[in-house]
Amino acid sequence: MSEPAHELPADSPATPLASAVDDARHGVITHLTVGGERVAAIVPESVLDTLRAAEDAEDAAEADAAMAEPGEDIPWDEVKSELGL
């Protein structure tokens, strides 16, 4: 992101949401604040896509590591039974 982040008070009735959405389309992150504290953000969709892809890659790496662990495989039905599912 080349643009600086903005802050927008979400507890104000005059919050210019349309402007924040337009800013997001141009790569700007807008932090929503309540009482001066950041509580949420309006981010460009590309930022969300990147975050989701990173989470998916991390999940896949953890699954691969778990599958590579030594030991006996436990059937899913047995796991469900032990958990009372």
3-state secondary structure of 43: coil
> What does the mean pLDDT of the chain come to?
88
pLDDT in tens, 42-82: 999 999 999 999 999 999 999 999 889 998 888 999 999 99
pLDDT in tens, 23-36: 999 999 999 999 99
Q: How many CB atoms lie within 10 A of CB 29?
A: 18
**In angstroms, rounded to a whole number, what is the distance separating the alpha carbons of residues 31 and 43?**
9
Whether 26 and 47 have beta carbons less than 8 Å apart is answered as: no
Residue burial 1-21, b: 16+ Cβ < 10 Å; e: rest: eeeeebebebeeeeeeeeebe
**In angstroms, rounded to a whole number, what is the distance separating the alpha carbons of residues 33 and 9?**
5
